[in-house]
A and B are shown apart, each in its own frame.
Chain A
């Protein structure tokens, strides 16, 4: 079993739709959770990070963590064509620069 699992999609939605992206993880000791966005031919960029359970909102983006279910989500409201990218969940298993990434979900928002 992989430590972090993510449905690779692809996911195609019309402009303005609400998008839900999800990951599950196996280790209940994980405490920090991140979402990265990667555009084609670019490196990933940090979108949001959360600590422990709960929600965190940033504009049209909401990150949600349910530690009891070991489930993390990223919601995108009023999706735009510019949101078309691959979204990766990531978890640091310990201090430092090591991250465990999900497989990434490829999102396409159609005008």
Chain B
């Protein structure tokens, strides 16, 4: 069974640009979550999508957005990039049963974004 696939693996952008990152979840998984990982702040939750609807959102500005398609694949977009957006962006998928509080998340290897 293929794992969570994130593309691209590395990305270099300049301030003010926008970027779109892609995530393909494990087959059969309906929930996709996005996280930002930096040395200073660690892993921080961005948002979660389930059945094409945003189910949960972290404390990030509106420049960070996402969407989920009918096949559960997800994209996240960051507009007007800032230097502080340089980070590893991780996508995680889970079955998305909803009622469980112990959803097992399976992470991809991430997209390393560098903003110059």
Give every chain B residue within 8 A of A51 (Cβ-Cβ): 102
Interface size of A by Cβ–Cβ distance < 8 Å? Answer: 24
Residues of B within 8 A of A43 (CB): 4, 90, 92, 107-110
Q: How far is the CA of A103 from the CA of B38 in the complex (A)?
A: 10
25 contacts between A and B (CB under 8 A): A42-B109, A43-B92, A43-B108, A44-B43, A44-B107, A45-B107, A46-B106, A88-B43, A92-B101, A92-B102, A94-B56, A95-B101, A96-B31, A96-B55, A96-B96, A96-B98, A96-B103, A97-B96, A97-B103, A97-B105, A98-B48, A98-B56, A101-B35, A101-B43, A103-B42
Interface size on B, residues (CB 8 A): 31
Contacts across chains A and B counted by CB atoms under 8 Å: 75
Whether B72 is near chain A, meaning CB under 8 Å from some CB there, is no
Chain B residues within 8 Å of A, Cβ to Cβ:
4, 31-33, 35, 42-45, 48, 50, 55-56, 58, 90, 92, 94, 96, 98-110
Which of chain A's residues 64-111 have a Cβ closer than 8 Å to chain B?
88, 92, 94-104
